[in-house]
Amino acid sequence: MRRVIHILPCFLAVLAPVLVHGQGGVPIWTNRYNGPGNGNALARAIAVDASDNAFVTGDSAGIGSSAAFATIAHSGAGVPLWTNRSGSPNHNDRAQAITVDTNGNVFVTGYSLGSSGGYDYVTIKYSAMPASASVMLAVVLAGG
Q: What is the DSSP letter of 81?
A: E
The reported pLDDT for the residue numbered 8 is 44
Q: Mind listing the domains of the chain with CATH numbers?
A: 4-141 (2.130.10.10)
∠ at Cα 65 (39, 117), nearest 5°?
125
The reported pLDDT for the residue numbered 45 is 96
CA-derived radius of gyration, the chain: 15
The reported pLDDT for the residue numbered 143 is 55
- Strand pairing category for 93-100 and 106-113: antiparallel
Peptide bond into 130 cis (omega under 30): yes
The CA distance from 95 to 43, in Å, is 9
For 10-38, b/e burial (b = at least 16 CB within 10 A) is beebbbbbbbbeeeeeeeebebebebebe
70 Cβ neighbours under 8 A, 6+ residues apart: 15, 33, 35, 41, 57, 58, 59, 60, 83, 84, 85, 95
Query: Which positions of the chain have pLDDT values less than 50?
Result: 1-16, 131
